[in-house]
Amino acid sequence: MRAPGVDASALAAIGGTPLVRLRTLLPPGSGDVLVKLEGGNPTGSYKDRMARAIVEGARERGDLSPGQRVVEYSGGSTGSSLAFVCAVLGHPLSIVSSDAFAQEKLDTMRALGADLTVVASDGGAITPDLFRRMREAVDRIVAARGSWWVDQFENRDALLGYAEMGREIIAQTDAAGLRIDAFCAGVGTAGMLAGVASALRALPHRVRVVALEPTESPLLTRGTTGPHHVEGIATGRIPPLLGDAHDEARAIDEAEARVLARRLAREEGIFAGTSAALNVAAALQLAAELGPGSTTVTVATDTGLKYLAGGLFRD
């Protein structure tokens, strides 16, 4: 989708990712499932869209001065994307993360120049308390180093980056002569779900938007939280960016998503992590409910290369 020629910087490589149809995993009598392959972004993650929108927005408003340090807490994908954008734009970066997240993500942040603080988890579990302690570490860095805090859970510039993803999906389905009936995605900061939903609302028909979470931490569906291992979603709080972006919420079993991640790789050639597989599991449910002739869209949020050391793809 990108124009030919020479780009001014690596930031121009963000976006323009493929939208592909599942071929083998659909049960009989289902509608189509289309998957946006965000692993094609420079850091292998959809978060590149958010990081560019947030940093460029802050620079344009004067909230972030040239050369000023940026700080955020992250499970890894946001941190990697921020490290990439800050490397291009010349900002030092401090990231607070944890050993609960993939080692590949921590290594990527360091490789791109981030100063990394690692907060110990409780046995590798992702819990609300872990995020609280990570946030406290961010506050200490901001106070000590005069940094600009990204605040990804509140920063509405993220919606602009993800709205562009929504417009890409509309253009791609229009080109194929398809009508989008449903869109589903996991909720972390909710920026992607809300941003894409804002673009889909421009369509002349109503698109069903479904917010997803693991059954192990069903805050949106049951009002309770719990430890889980699906990186990037279910942080133990209802994110402010979610607002009224969704029509319904669904919980998907983490174990089911892990099995599906392996099937996606081996049967569809879609190489992605557990959160992406959770998205596809929900999309398969929706496609079965909506039936033949329908189109459900979801997102493979990253690349499976980030999860090779953790055993996701080992039987």
Identical fold, 10-40+156-307 and 47-149: yes
Helix (H) or strand (E) holding 163: helix 157-175
pLDDT bracket for residue 51 (50, 70, 90): very high
Angstrom distance (rounded) from CA 255 to CA 308:
17
Q: Mean pLDDT, the chain, as a whole number?
A: 94
| pLDDT greater than 80 at residue 4 | no
Cross-strand partners of 147: none
pLDDT bracket for residue 103 (50, 70, 90): confident
pLDDT bracket for residue 104 (50, 70, 90): confident
pLDDT bracket for residue 230 (50, 70, 90): confident
Helix (H) or strand (E) holding 70: strand 70-73
Give the pLDDT score at 25: 97
Give the pLDDT score at 2: 63
Q: Which two tokens stand for residue 197?
A: 């939903």
Could you give the maximum distance between any two Cα atoms of the chain, in Å? 59
**Could you identify the residue written with the tokens 């020479």?**
6
Give the pLDDT score at 228: 86
Helix (H) or strand (E) holding 97: strand 93-98
Among the residue ranges 12-26, 117-131, 177-191, the one predicted with the least confidence is 117-131
CATH code at 10-40+156-307: 3.40.50.1100
Question: Looking at residue 147, what DSSP letter applies?
Answer: P
pLDDT bracket for residue 76 (50, 70, 90): confident
C-alpha distances (whole Å) from 41 to each of 45, 80, 192, 255, 310 are 6, 12, 15, 27, 22
Question: In the predicted model, what is the mean pLDDT of residues 139-148?
Answer: 90
| pLDDT greater than 90 at residue 111 | yes
Q: Which two tokens stand for residue 66?
A: 């040239």
Angstrom distance (rounded) from CA 179 to CA 23:
18
Angstrom distance (rounded) from CA 169 to CA 163:
10
Give the pLDDT score at 210: 98
Between helices 157-175 and 191-200, what is the axis angle to 10°? 50
Burial class (CB in 10 A: 0-12, 13-18, 19+), 1: exposed
C-beta neighbour count of 176 within 10 angstroms? 12
C-beta neighbour count of 202 within 10 angstroms? 10
Q: Which two tokens stand for residue 15?
A: 């976006």
Angstrom distance (rounded) from CA 15 to CA 43:
11
Question: In the predicted model, what is the mean pLDDT of residues 195-209?
Answer: 97
Give the pLDDT score at 1: 55
% residues pLDDT > 70 (the chain): 99
| pLDDT greater than 90 at residue 237 | no
CATH code at 47-149: 3.40.50.1100
Strands 115-119 and 148-149: unpaired
Rg (CA), the chain: 19
Question: In the predicted model, what is the mean pLDDT of residues 268-284?
Answer: 96
Give the residue with greater pLDDT, 60 vs 236. 60
Give the pLDDT score at 208: 98
Domain ranges of the chain: 10-40+156-307, 47-149
Give the residue with greater pLDDT, 253 vs 231. 253
- pTM over 0.85? The answer is yes
